[in-house]
Structure 1
C-alpha cells in the first residue's frame, strides 16, 4: 500500500515537540467510524489503538451519536460545572441501575474533572484526608497519569523525570510476577509494614491496576489481587483500583476487578466511560469515605453534560445485557491464539493479556517499534508499551467484528514477522 505524504507543515511549525502518537502515524486523519479511521487522502486504517482505551465502543457509535446530536439540537446544557442537570441525573440513574446495583456496589460518585489523572488525584487526596496519613503505596511499572500526584505513583522513569521536582510521599512495591516467582507474594511489603525500624510510614492507601496497560500489559492474577485486598484490610489501608484504561468492559466485565471478586474502597474511571471519546472521569468510593466539605475539591470542567448524555446511551446500548462481555471473551480467545502462534516464531518473546487488551513482548526492544511502523504502512494502528517500548499492545474496540479482528491480527503478525 502506498501512503501519500501528508501536509504536516503546520503541525511541525506550531505544535509543541511534546506530541507523540502523531509521529508514529504520520498522516492527517479526517473521519472515523466503528473500527476504522480514514485520512484526508482516503486511506483507511484499522484501529487497534482505540484512543488508548477511550473508544471501547469504536468511533462514532450511531446510538451515542444520535443521542448527542438530539441533545445539542434542543440546546441542552453543555457546561454547568457541578450544577444539577437532566443530563447528569440521567447518567447517574442509568449508572446506578445498570452498573452499581447489579454488582451490589455501594459507591458514591464524584466528578473530579474531565481526565483520568483528575480522578487519580482526587482518589489520593481523599485517601489521605480519610486516613490522616501521607504515604501511598504503588507498584513497579504502574502508570496513573501525568499530573504531579499521579506521576508520584507512576513507575516509568522517563515520565517521572518530566515532573521537574521531587515526587514524594509514595513507596513502590513489586507488582505481580515482578520477582519471577522467586519470593512469596507481598513478603517484602508485609515485612516493612510489620517492622517499626523499616522506615515505611503507615500508608493511607495502595493504588493498583489489575492490568498494567502502559507498563507492558502486565496481568495480575486474581489470587494476587485478593491477597492484596486482605493485606490492606489487615493493615488499615484503603485499596484504590485504577480502572481508567481497563474498565468499561476492556477485560470482559464492566470493572476489571470483578473477576477477582474484590470490592475496592475507591475506584477511578475515565477514558471510555463517556463512550464517545468525550472527556469525563469518575471517582467512586464507599459512602463512609465521603468526608469532603462542599467545594473542597472542585474544577471548572467537572460537569461535562454532553459526556453524560453519551455515557448514559453507552450503558443503555452495551450494558443492559451480557452480550458485549460474552463477545469480548470470545474475541480474547482469538487474539490469544494469534499471539501464541506469533510468539512461537520469535525466540525470547512472550504474550499476555485479558479480554481485549493483549501484549506481545519481543526480545529486541526495538522490534516492537519497527513492527508498529510496518503495521501502519499496512493499514493497522497499534501502539507499543512497557518501560522500553518492547511490547506490541493490541486494544481493538470491543465492538470490532470477527472479520475485522481476523484481518487486523493477520496484519499484526505480518508486521512482526517482516521486521524481525
Structure 2
C-alpha cells in the first residue's frame, strides 16, 4: 500500500508526492488555473498560444538550449491547455528529478515569452484552427460544448482566427503573470521520488514566486437545445449532451460512470450492440462521462451516413433513456463486466508513473484531495447493482444539447423534450 505525501509551500504551491515501489521513473503533473475560460473575450486562442510559447525556453536558455539540456537529462516535457487549466507534464528517471526541477521552475517562473517565439506560436495555433475543416467530429464537439456550458467555460482551445491574430506579446505576458499564481497551482510527482527531497528542492526554487489570481465564475445560462451545422458531406455527426453529477459529488459520479460503462464499455456495451452490431446504423457510437469540481456532463456520439442518421439518433436516444426504466435495468452480467473493465482501467493507468501523477493532480483539483489507488478500488468495489439501478431510476436527461453536423437537419426525438 503506497503513501501519499502532501505539503503546501510558503508561496502557496500545493505539492503531492507518491513513491511507487519497483519503478525507476517519475511522472510529474503541474496544473495552473490558466485555461481558455481566463482568456479575454477578444483574444480567443490566448491560452493555446501561451502553452506553445511555454515550450520555447526558460531562464537563460532559449528553445534549442532548453531542449538540448532536457535531452541530455533524458526528460520529456509537454504543455497543453483546456477550458479550466494549463497543464505541464514531464517524465524522467527518478535519479534525474533534482536536475529536471530547476529546468521546469525556469519554464514556469521565468519563461522566454519574447517576440522571437510569438509569431511561430501564433502560426501553429492558426494551423490547428484550420485543421478543423478536415475533422467534422471535432467541429461538432466544439459547437456542442459552446452551447452546453455557460460562458466562459464553453470556449474552445482552438480559439478564433481574429482572436489569435489580435494577440500581442503583452497579452501573453500579462495572461501568464496573472494566471500562474502559486496558490492556484497543483504539482504532483509519482514514482521513484523522495518526498522530503522533493519538498525541500521545490521550496528553494519557488521561494521568490508570488501572485494572486481572480477566480473565474460562470456568466449567465448556457444556450443548449438543438443546433445543426450544414456540411455537404457523406457523413453525419451526432452529439447528445446532458447534465450529470459533478466529480465533487463523488458517489453519484461513480454510479454514473458504472452506467456509462454498461452503455459504452467496449464491444459488449449496449450502444455498440444495439446501434452498430444489430442494426448496422453507424460506423462509430459511444457514450462518456466527464466531470470536475463544478460541472458534470453525460455525452453520447454517433458517426453515420445521411441515410441512417435519423434512425441512429432515434435508437441512440431510446437506449440512453431505456437504462433508466424498469425494463432497461442493468443486469448482473452487465454490472460485473462494467466493474471489471473499470478496475482494469484504474490499475493499468496507475501502473504508469506519468498516469499516476496526472491522477493525483486531477483529484486535487476536482475533489480537493488526492486519493490512493486502494481508495479508488475500494470505492468501486463497494458499488452494488441495486445502488446503480436505484441511481438510474431517479436519473433524467436534463439540460439536453443536441448537436448535428451533416447535409440536413434531423428531427429531435420527442422524448428528449427539446
Question: Please, what TM-score do these two structures have when normalized by structure 1?
Answer: 0.23
Question: Please, what TM-score do these two structures have when normalized by structure 2?
Answer: 0.23
Task: Kindly indicate which of the two structures has a greater share of residues assigned to helix.
Answer: 2
Q: Which has the larger radius of gyration?
A: 2
Task: Kindly indicate which of the two structures has a greater share of residues assigned to strand.
Answer: 2
